[in-house]
């Protein structure tokens, strides 16, 4: 979904001569923390971060990861 939305935003920006913004956030040692939780508990830290970011953005903005 992330890649589709990014591609669409780039197309719209080019088509209408408008800029877009992309922000990448690298959470230090996130993989280590996520892997230590085990397969049943993976996801909550990312979900919590995603929820906090979503609350700060417009409804039309996208929060996601490049891998999924």
Task: Say what the pLDDT of residue 38 is.
Answer: 63
Whether residue 45 has pLDDT greater than 70: no
pLDDT at res. 3: 85
pLDDT attached to residue 25: 79
pLDDT computed for residue 68 by the predictor = 44
For every residue of 1-68, DSSP letters joined together read -HHHHHHHHHHHHHHTT----------TTHHHHHHHT-TTT-SHHHHHHHHHHHHHS-TT-----TT-
pTM: 0.57
Residue 60, pLDDT > 90, answer: no
Q: Is 20 in contact with 10 (CB distance < 8 Å)? A: yes
């Amino acid at each position: 979904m992330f890649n589709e939305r990014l591609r669409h935003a780039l197309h719209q920006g080019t088509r209408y001569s408008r800029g877009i913004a992309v922000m990448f956030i690298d959470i230090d040692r996130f993989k280590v923390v996520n892997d230590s939780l085990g397969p049943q508990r993976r996801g909550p830290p990312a979900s919590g971060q995603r929820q906090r970011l979503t609350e700060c953005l417009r409804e039309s903005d996208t929060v996601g990861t490049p891998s999924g």
